[in-house]
Chain A
């Protein structure tokens, strides 16, 4: 899956200060060391410590946005604290990362450690790109009870764990307080129900504002539709992911609601890639559905008075799309046990500091961190974290991202651009998805 990121940019003074404070916290935390952490007392081996010869680890990820500098800072701290492990970080756009990593790993030029989204874990496990990490999970004392079940289970393929969850990044609602005031709405009360949302859009319309831009592209159009599909009680696929079910009445209702936003003039027609996001920054788009990873990008914008809230409940239940970043260890053609051990130490260390990572605009995967006072102090992040009990993931079966690419990404595009009726677009996409699911099943069984 392709993930859109805000353009790369430097650190603001504000972020720099946060980082400074964060570094202080991390150092203070280190005085006790991981040994004092109860989570660390379980099993030996898998990531507790490394006392072999000095190794160089390559760590690749796709954090090209405002989150990149935070991860780099963590990596530098880690290297400074570990005399015999030096980690060098390399950032590649996610879009290029997923085709490139398997080839690099296969030829022995790949990284030792990487980050992958939950919906890519199955594919890469099946293709032998990444290694099982059950021993790490055990050594770190990771237990299902400390994670949302969804995040926890997404890392498992064929009864083995391949990913150590780092965070969750759900879709949420960003609202422009200035525009809400302009339209006579309470700027501190973002719409949270269908009635409130539609009433707000009507008020915006009266003030000449198109209040809720709908994108026809995967980011953010498909994410919005997936969230709505789950809100209306539907699902993308059946239980064992052999049949597409997204063309159900719920799916059609979800897509029709989005199309109606366009038809009723609450959104411009033919919205361009990223235009809904730029329009929010420019104060033209009032209610913007986007991922939590945009928090720091919006903080960058001067004169933009905005807030973050959970998605409004448009359907019959609360739901939101979410992805998750996971640590993975690459399956090298010539494995070096020292490097593998050091990689586990590295993953363990970062995992302990997921509060720092949360500041980059993420919800920590660990419940204990999510419930910490420090996390509650992160205003926007903790708003989005309210969605954790009801977020949905794309099921992490091998090849699932290709099914989406070849089916409902297109259906959403065609419907939002008013080229096809929602039902027709989804029906066509579903029959293609079924073919692709069948092909994947054969491919990954062979």
Chain B
């Protein structure tokens, strides 16, 4: 593929002499004034401090209180908010773990689909055919929509009683009363399906970039060695995509674990609270019931889970690399 080769040439590592020269130049530059790199990083660090570090610390402080920002008394409760989450029958523990379970299920159902389908699409869209740009745009298009648009659109499409999906199923002679938004397991289909439709374009674009970065010469060499298409995919494409794959899996897990809008709009957490996700419950506790201490504690537990999963994820891919 010509475009791939041109891109490849540009990204190829510079010859060793040039590299060494640049390295020493870097050293001189930094040596000139040790503060220089920090000055360059300062704009980001300031934002990081204000919007990440301080809120993280302040959030933890909040989680140690019975905190309502409008009430004069914000009694210190120590780790009580955390302890409540691990005490059965407290007002927060039941719904919270329920919502964690819902988030876990959603992540489990959506991540494999969002890793595999975009890969297949990217392979297709990486072929040379007429109208390729159009299809690339078409698959990416839903991603530009906001979650509110996607949620309301699918809520009406999937409505069990008045939705188009059930209507057309009926026209095809199939069951036309599937309770997509009010019963399980249909509720999961109603949440995962639209999410995949909505966000697969993003992962596809990342995969496409990754595919175009794989050296065409490797494919040529594999073909000369007599590898068939499947073998080339397994031994050239997949290893070449490993860094991209790590990125996609990590980002997709984090995005799925933060699911809020879809469940909020399409199923509204129903039936009961079975599709009420963690972020939904945290937002409700903190911003609607103004029980901010408990909500902050929940956020930390959720963050801890996500950190553990991300670490496991990195470890897994690193191990594969070795």
Chain A contact residues, CB within 8 Å of chain B: 98-99, 102-103, 106, 126-129, 216-217, 268-273, 275, 278-279, 282, 399, 402, 405-406, 410, 413-414, 417, 419-420, 432, 435-436, 439, 443-444, 446
B170: shortest Cβ distance to chain A, in Å?
Answer: 14
Q: What are 25 A-B pairs with beta-carbon distances under 8 A?
A: A127-B71, A216-B271, A217-B270, A269-B177, A270-B182, A272-B162, A272-B163, A272-B182, A273-B155, A275-B159, A275-B160, A275-B161, A278-B161, A279-B161, A406-B91, A406-B95, A413-B270, A417-B182, A432-B91, A435-B91, A436-B91, A443-B66, A443-B291, A444-B71, A446-B75
CA distance A19 to B178 in the complex (A): 44
Residues of A close to B272: CB separation below 8 A: 410, 413-414, 417, 419-420
* CB-based contact A278/B162 at 8 Å: yes
* CB-based contact B160/A106 at 8 Å: no
B70: shortest Cβ distance to chain A, in Å?
Answer: 4
Closest chain A residue to B268 by CB distance? A273
CA distance A273 to B163 in the complex (A): 12
Choose among B179, B268, B273, B288 the residue that contacts A270 (Cβ–Cβ < 8 A). Answer: B179
Residues of A close to B268: CB separation below 8 A: 217, 273
CA distance A102 to B287 in the complex (A): 10
* CB-based contact A272/B181 at 8 Å: yes
CA distance A420 to B177 in the complex (A): 21
* CB-based contact A399/B289 at 8 Å: yes
* CB-based contact B273/A410 at 8 Å: yes
* CB-based contact B66/A414 at 8 Å: no
Closest chain B residue to A331 by CB distance? B70
In the complex, whether B220 has a CB less than 8 A from a CB of chain A is no
Residues of B close to A405: CB separation below 8 A: 284, 288-289
Closest chain B residue to A268 by CB distance? B161
Closest chain B residue to A281 by CB distance? B162
Contact with A along B181-201 (1 / 0, CB 8 A): 111000000000000000000
CA distance A260 to B90 in the complex (A): 33
Closest chain B residue to A425 by CB distance? B272
* CB-based contact A271/B161 at 8 Å: yes
A188: shortest Cβ distance to chain B, in Å?
Answer: 28
Q: Assuming the A-B contacts A410-B273, A417-B183, are A106 and B69 also in contact, with contact meaning beta carbons closer than 8 angstroms in the complex? A: yes
Choose among A99, A413, A432 the residue that contacts B288 (Cβ–Cβ < 8 A). Answer: A99
* CB-based contact B91/A268 at 8 Å: no
* CB-based contact A446/B160 at 8 Å: no
Q: When A and B form their complex, what is the total count of cross-chain residue pairs whose Cβ atoms lie within 8 Å?
A: 93
* CB-based contact A446/B70 at 8 Å: no
Choose among B162, B287, B290 the residue that contacts A275 (Cβ–Cβ < 8 A). Answer: B162
Residues of A close to B66: CB separation below 8 A: 443, 446
* CB-based contact B271/A413 at 8 Å: yes
CA distance A368 to B22 in the complex (A): 88
In the complex, whether B213 has a CB less than 8 A from a CB of chain A is no
* CB-based contact B273/A282 at 8 Å: no
Chain B contact residues, CB within 8 Å of chain A: 66, 68-71, 73, 75, 90-91, 94-95, 155, 159-163, 177, 179, 181-183, 268, 270-273, 284, 287-291
Q: Assuming the A-B contacts A414-B271, A417-B270, A435-B91, are A127 and B177 also in contact, with contact meaning beta carbons closer than 8 angstroms in the complex? A: no
A319: shortest Cβ distance to chain B, in Å?
Answer: 27
Closest chain B residue to A417 by CB distance? B271
Q: Assuming the A-B contacts A271-B161, A275-B160, A436-B91, are A419 and B271 also in contact, with contact meaning beta carbons closer than 8 angstroms in the complex? A: yes
CA distance A106 to B290 in the complex (A): 14
A413: shortest Cβ distance to chain B, in Å?
Answer: 6
B179: shortest Cβ distance to chain A, in Å?
Answer: 3
CA distance A278 to B73 in the complex (A): 46
Residues of A close to B162: CB separation below 8 A: 272, 275, 278-279, 282
Residues of B close to A439: CB separation below 8 A: 91
CA distance A278 to B164 in the complex (A): 14
CA distance A435 to B91 in the complex (A): 7
Closest chain A residue to B91 by CB distance? A435
Residues of A close to B159: CB separation below 8 A: 272, 275
* CB-based contact B91/A102 at 8 Å: no
Residues of B close to A282: CB separation below 8 A: 162
Residues of B close to A279: CB separation below 8 A: 161-162
Given contacts A272-B182, A405-B289, A446-B66, 4 further A-B contacts (CB under 8 A): A126-B71, A270-B183, A279-B162, A399-B289
A158: shortest Cβ distance to chain B, in Å?
Answer: 14
CA distance A175 to B160 in the complex (A): 23
* CB-based contact A270/B160 at 8 Å: yes
CA distance A106 to B94 in the complex (A): 32
Residues of B close to A414: CB separation below 8 A: 271-272
Residues of A close to B287: CB separation below 8 A: 99
Residue in B73, B95, B160, B182 whose Cβ sees the most chain A Cβ within 10 Å: B182
Q: Assuming the A-B contacts A282-B162, A435-B91, are A102 and B182 also in contact, with contact meaning beta carbons closer than 8 angstroms in the complex? A: no
CA distance A216 to B75 in the complex (A): 38
Closest chain A residue to B70 by CB distance? A127
Residues of A close to B181: CB separation below 8 A: 272-273
Residues of A close to B75: CB separation below 8 A: 446
B264: shortest Cβ distance to chain A, in Å?
Answer: 10
A432: shortest Cβ distance to chain B, in Å?
Answer: 7
Residues of A close to B291: CB separation below 8 A: 443
* CB-based contact A127/B290 at 8 Å: yes
CA distance A420 to B271 in the complex (A): 11
CA distance A102 to B183 in the complex (A): 36
CA distance A268 to B155 in the complex (A): 18
B93: shortest Cβ distance to chain A, in Å?
Answer: 11
B296: shortest Cβ distance to chain A, in Å?
Answer: 16
Choose among B70, B177, B270 the residue that contacts A102 (Cβ–Cβ < 8 A). Answer: B70
Closest chain A residue to B90 by CB distance? A435
B221: shortest Cβ distance to chain A, in Å?
Answer: 57
A254: shortest Cβ distance to chain B, in Å?
Answer: 19
CA distance A278 to B155 in the complex (A): 13
* CB-based contact A269/B179 at 8 Å: yes
Closest chain B residue to A276 by CB distance? B161
Residues of B close to A420: CB separation below 8 A: 272
